[in-house]
Structure 1
């Protein structure tokens, strides 16, 4: 039986509204894949006119689903889209897939384990399992941090091209948080190059004195990096001689989460 339409609403109106919704969702999908795009490029990729693209983007911007960087003339996915998406992550996606491995790591190593995602040029911590040491690391869920001086941030970008890294983090110089913070783009790119060879990254007291973080990327079923997992601990408990073994263990845990999300190792770039 055909559903009744509300009075005053024609089938043509309903079809037009559905088409508008489809176009808006398509814009969000394109933005999520490219991270930032100009109006003209968005119009080209979605095969919409610039005027239609702009109207849709303005509607999405007012609702917080996209953001507009006036200085750069670029559009990107907004925080509201993350908040809506996080409902999926919490209910049966990323967090559910990651939590067993995070808990297993804490049981084995007794150090705090974090889960983070990328948002623009920052990372957002979306889950944490605390270690049970008297002195342990703690990060508030929902907290933001720079990419360039955090283990989770480096892991999120370690498989990006140099051009993508430059676009996301900028040209530098970067704000120093400690004497060990990498403040140049060249230094950051070199760090990522080294990380790609071993498939894990190290934050060596770059954000906070006396703290080391070891992190690895998490992939989805397309092979795309969608999150990163890290272990945080005082430097006294993570000496140089433990780094290879700990790095391999974090990488193993991150890969296990990726497999739960449908990833296969042959999907990983390089």
Structure 2
């Protein structure tokens, strides 16, 4: 896929990995629609990258459809959709106060897994009806999971389940979409400098960085964005899950 002039939609684009991806792709000529549930954040990033802002909760079919309508009207059918929207949170299944509230588990899965699937299905339908590009390609969908899908820590049952679901659906959907010329990929970032990580104390962040083999530091959002670019431009990447984590394998618990 050639990025110059290509219509791209980035969910969770108002901050963190999404904002970095929106900026990185815009610098390479893509026409970017920034989707975020925060209107202020979406507009701020859209102004920075010369794109448009779309406000939506990724679990809301009507709102996501409206965002795709806006992106299509402004830039044409999105040929690349990068899904960075998600939530974190940690809770033991059985803690001091009893069992984990079921709605806490449900919310995490609803946003991270079902929200990703919602965006994917709606965007892919539009791609499937668009004219084919070079090599018969019609589009690319990139989901964001996490190394927690493989190395989930204590307290990450809901988060790991939601990200593991994204990993598991990648290959079957890629196989299904092959007839349309739509590629499906998932990236699994390790520990990156994002607002989610910012919820941790500084000491914990530093300890996490020291635990990464090489480079011995937290990941930078632009490094995630660079990998997104590589996936988009290399048409032979399809149906795969790529870890980007500096060879990190999470320990059972966060360092104190």
Q: Which of these two proteins has the greater Rg computed from alpha carbons? A: 1
Name which structure has the greater RCO, CA cutoff 8 Å, separation 6+. Answer: 2
Q: Same fold (TM over 0.5)?
A: no
| TM-score using structure 2 length | 0.30
| TM-score using structure 1 length | 0.28
